[in-house]
Amino acid sequence: MNSHKLEYTRQEMMAIATGRELRDGELAIFGVGLSMLAGYFAQEHHAPNIRAMTEGGVYGAIPVGGLPWGIECNRISANATSFTNGVDALGFLVASGRCDVGIIGAAQVDKFGNVNTTGIWDGEIGEHYRAPKTRLTGAGGANDIACGAGRVLIMVAHEPKRFAEKVTYISSPGYLDGGNTRERYGFVGGGPSAIITTLGILRPNPDTKEFQLDAYYPFSNIEEIQSNTDWELKVCPRVHVVPEPTVDELKALRKVDETGALRKQ
């Protein structure tokens, strides 16, 4: 046994686990923040030919100086090979069905992978629309990615309040009511393939589309994850431990995360 214990944060584990889902050569779109770090980590580490873009239509760029403040930030505009626009990136390359994979975040996610980033209400909204008690950021481009990308990775901190049986407001669709309900809408994209959290990885049951625990981290366990999930989280028969980040993976991630956004606990 190696007695040396690798030091990394839960957020770094989540970013690396997300990055591992990306394959070389894919056309990929990243949202702002952690998802961007996960995506550019993959490019730095194992997917050098990933074709990365942001929804603003920034192509060929690798962030400099740390986590960009936004997807149009100068930190990502400093070495781009092409600047276009929203219709191009979110329309021609995502809504068209060309984009293989997208990474989005969530304030709240439910057991069918539906995402709420719009607001927190006290109870149900009711028949008559009313303003939320706490207004969040809205859907942004995540709805477009959730509808159009071949598959979607959802990154979210694993806390009970974020894992609801049913989200109050669907900002970005997952599998809606589960089963084949997503198919009714004729979306171009396939829906979320994984919810990657600070505690583990959830994947949809192929038939019911209900998200189940697929894997946990070296520092987490099944009970801890279930107690942090506000629905009765089922466990896959082949549930397993996610391999620890390697030295090379951490090195690549920290090169992208120059300002240590993921190391703040």
Tell me the catalytic residues. Answer: 55
Contact 8, 32 (CB under 8 A): no
Interface with another protein by CB under 8 A: which range of 2-10, 14-22, 81-89, 245-253?
81-89
Is residue 127 a contact point for another protein (CB under 8 A)? yes
Please tell me whether residue 143 binds another protein under the rule CB under 8 A: yes
Amino acid identity of residue 125, one-letter, is I
Q: Answer yes or no whether residue 57 interacts with another protein by CB under 8 A.
A: yes
The answer to whether residue 142 forms part of the interface with another protein (CB under 8 A) is: yes
Q: Which residue number, 173 or 200, has a Cβ lying nearer to another protein?
A: 173
- How many C-beta neighbours within 10 Å does residue 124 have? 8
Please report whether residue 1 would count as binding another protein according to CB under 8 A. Answer: no
Instruction: Kindly state whether residue 125 participates in binding another protein, applying the rule CB under 8 A.
Output: yes
Residue list 206-235, contact with another protein (CB under 8 A): none
Choices 38-46, 53-61, 154-162, 223-231; region in contact with another protein by CB under 8 A = 53-61
Residue from the set 8, 40, 112, 169 that interacts with another protein by CB under 8 A: 169
CA–CA separation, 140 and 54 (whole Å): 12
Q: Applying CB under 8 A, which part among 19-27, 134-142, 151-159, 217-225 lies near another protein? A: 134-142
Backbone φ and ψ for 206, nearest 5 degrees, come out as -60, -30
Query: CA dihedral in degrees (89, 33, 37, 141; nearest 10)?
Result: -20
245: left (phi over 0), alpha (psi -120 to 50) or beta: beta
Q: 169 to each of 115, 144, 172, how far by Cα in Å?
A: 8, 16, 9
The interface region with another protein, picked from 140-148, 214-222, 227-235, 248-256 by CB under 8 A, is 140-148
User: Which residues contact residue 141 at a Cβ distance below 8 angstroms, ignoring those fewer than 6 apart?
Assistant: 29, 31, 55, 86, 90
Q: Which of 10, 21, 83, 224 binds another protein (CB under 8 A)?
A: 83
Query: Does 179 contact another protein by CB under 8 A?
Result: no
φ, ψ (nearest 5 deg) of residue 115 = -115, 135
Closest to another protein by CB, 137 or 227: 137
- Amino acid symbol at 196: I
CA dist., res. 33 & res. 51, Å (int)? 18
Binding-site member from 138, 160, 243, 260 for another protein (CB under 8 A): 138
> Helix/strand/coil (H, E, C) string of 214-232?
EEECCCCCHHHHHHCCCCC
> Does 255 interact with another protein (rule: CB under 8 A)?
no
DSSP character at residue 5: P
Contact, 140 vs 117, CB < 8 A? yes
Q: Which is nearer to another protein, 24 or 183 (CB)?
A: 183
The reply to whether 32 sits near another protein by the rule CB under 8 A is yes
Where does this chain bind another protein (CB under 8 A)?
32-33, 54-58, 64-65, 67-75, 77-78, 83-87, 90-91, 94-95, 114, 118, 125, 127-144, 147-148, 169-173, 176, 182, 184-188
